[in-house]
Structures are given as structure tokens and as C-alpha cells.
Amino acid sequence: MRPSIAWPGGARSCVALAFDLDGPTGDAMLDGSLKGNPAYFTLGAYGPYRALPRILTMLETFRLPATFFVPTWVIEHWPTQCRAIIEAGHEVAYHGHRHELFWTLDDAQQREIMTRSQAIFHDLLGVRPVGFRTPSGDWGAQTPDILNEFGVRYSSSMRGDDRPYHVAVDGHPQGLIEIPARWELDDYASLAYQRAPDFPRGLDRTAPYAQVLANWCAEFDGSHEEGLSMTTLLHPKVSARPGRMALLEAFLAHMTAHEDVWFARCRDVAEFWQQLPAQSPGQSPDQEPRHAG
């Protein structure tokens, strides 16, 4: 398929590397079970404390930019590590406070989380993020409008295309840019060991690393061939372990072997796409523009 998007610098395709620095947040924290489960806490803490430095070193070696979506509870407990992300030239963006299920929250609860998150980012890191990734993989009907109230210009939460697209926001003519990511590029799907539930019982619960690498490279090859954009859903606590770093490095080496790829932070992709006519999912940039519903 002939590429139809003129990416910056004459690139054929776009890659926005993105990492979710969740730490020990999520269901176990929200339901209170984390307090009595030190093993879960240390498993999550491994992400910002031990795994993140490996990711930053790898990105420096490959000279690639990235975006880190960070729950602000993690920033409160590991501010030095989170500041290192910014000092290395990468982007940090919203990801809830304790990795809340946004689609289960009413508007007031979502605003409360965003208010708290905005203050923590400003007070501890000195930044005001412009990006958001919903921690729950879904959002409520009013979430785009709420994000706009807090200065968010893009989201990387939905699955409606393999290119960015516009989401309508009441009273905001430019809307919200959605930079979709896919579960196929989520390391949890292949590499997260499951203790509870024990399924499949008695069998391996992580995929062979060579197969994971082949799958990821195939996803990039297809995206690059069609001139699309690709965004990852990688978690340092899952994939930035000693035996898995070789997998990540091989994946980056495969992509950087192509000289015609625009590697960009998510905010850079959003700024570029904002200049184009508004499209909904499934619509090419040269088609009649219309907002997504």
C-alpha cells in the first residue's frame, strides 16, 4: 500500500515509543490488598527503582526519544527517578494517580484525580503535561472534555486507527488528538507472569522471547510498509529485566535499521497531526475532514 502521510523529514512511517511507569499501582492498591502484600509492592517498585535506569540507558544508546506515562503516586515515591526522565530529554504525561479505572469514575472523581495529578507534576517535576493515557484502557463519555480543562492536547488511550485521529471536544474546535496504541505491542500480553489466577495451570505463562520479538518486528514492518504510526505499551517492571533487555534492544535495532522512520515523543506526534485537517478513525488525511464522535 502506498503511504499517504507526509511525515516530517520525509520519513515513511512514525514510531512513538511509550512506556507506562506504573510501579506498584493498580487493582491491589485500589482495593487495599497492597498493604498486606509486600511481594506485590516490591514487584511494582522494581519498575521505577531498578528497571527505569536500564530503559533510559538503552534510549540514550540508540539516541531515541520516548514518552513515559506515570501515575503521580509513583512520582511522589520516586521523584528522583522521574526527574531523570525529563533530564534525559524525554516526555512525561498523565496516567492517573493510583492507576484508577477511569471508565468507572464520575466526572467529579476524574476532575479530582486530574487536579491532584497536575499539582504533583508541577510541584515535584516542574512540568505541566499535555498528554494522557487512561490507566484502565477505556474512558468515560466526558473524559475528553475533562482532559481539555486541564490543558491536555492528546491522548494515547483508544484503539480506533493505526494513525492519530481527532476526537471532538465541546467548545474546543481543535479537539483532542488520539495517538492509538495496540495490545499487540503491550508487553503484559506476552511477558507478564501470572500468579493469580494460575492459568494455564502447570504450564508456562510467558511467551518465548524469540517469538515475542518476531511478533513485535512484524507489527513494525506492517506499519512501516503502509506509512503509518506505531505506539508501544511497554512497562519497565515487565520488560526491563536483564534477560528481556536483549529483546527490547533487538526490537529497537530492527526499527532503527530503517533510515526513513520518524521517532518522536507523543507530544511531537500530536503537534504534527494537529496541523492536518481533522480526521476520524478510518479516514485518510486527504479525505473530507470531520470530527470523531
DSSP 240: -
Q: What is the pLDDT of residue 27?
A: 63
Residue 119, sorted as left (phi over 0), alpha (psi -120 to 50) or beta, turns out to be: alpha
41 located within any domain = yes
236 located within any domain = yes
Domain containing 169 — which CATH number? Answer: 3.20.20.370
161 located within any domain = yes
| Beta strands in 129-287, from DSSP E residues, in sequence order | 131-132, 154-155, 165-169, 172-178, 229-231, 261-263
Q: What is the pLDDT of residue 168?
A: 85
Going residue by residue through the chain, which has 293 residues, state the pLDDT in tens, using 9 for 90 and above.
566 799 999 999 999 999 999 988 766 556 666 566 666 777 788 899 999 999 999 999 999 999 999 999 999 999 999 999 999 999 999 999 999 989 999 999 999 999 999 999 999 999 999 999 999 778 888 899 999 999 999 999 998 899 999 998 877 767 899 999 988 999 988 888 766 655 556 555 688 999 999 999 999 999 999 999 999 999 999 999 999 999 999 999 999 999 999 999 999 999 999 988 766 565 555 433 322 22
- The pTM for the full model equals 0.89
284 located within any domain = no
Neighbouring C-alpha atoms within 13 Å toward the C-beta of 113: 25
292 located within any domain = no
What is the rounded CA–CA span in Å between residue 128 and residue 94?
9
32 located within any domain = yes
191 located within any domain = yes
User: How many domains are contained in the chain?
Assistant: 1
Query: The domain containing residue 39 runs over which residues?
Result: 12-274
Q: What is the pLDDT of residue 11?
A: 96
Q: What is the pLDDT of residue 292?
A: 29
What is the rounded CA–CA span in Å between residue 54 and residue 81?
12
C-alpha closest to that of 19 among 143, 105, 114, 133: 133
244 located within any domain = yes
Measured CA to CA in angstroms, residue 259 lies from 12, 13, 218, 231 at distances of 9, 10, 17, 18
Question: CA 203 from chain center: how many Å?
Answer: 30
Q: What is the pLDDT of residue 196?
A: 62
List of residues 6+ apart from 2 with CB closer than 8 A? 227
Length of the chain: 293
Q: Residue 178's beta-bridge partner residues?
A: 155, 165
What is the rounded CA–CA span in Å between residue 293 and residue 281?
10
What is the rounded CA–CA span in Å between residue 219 and residue 217?
5
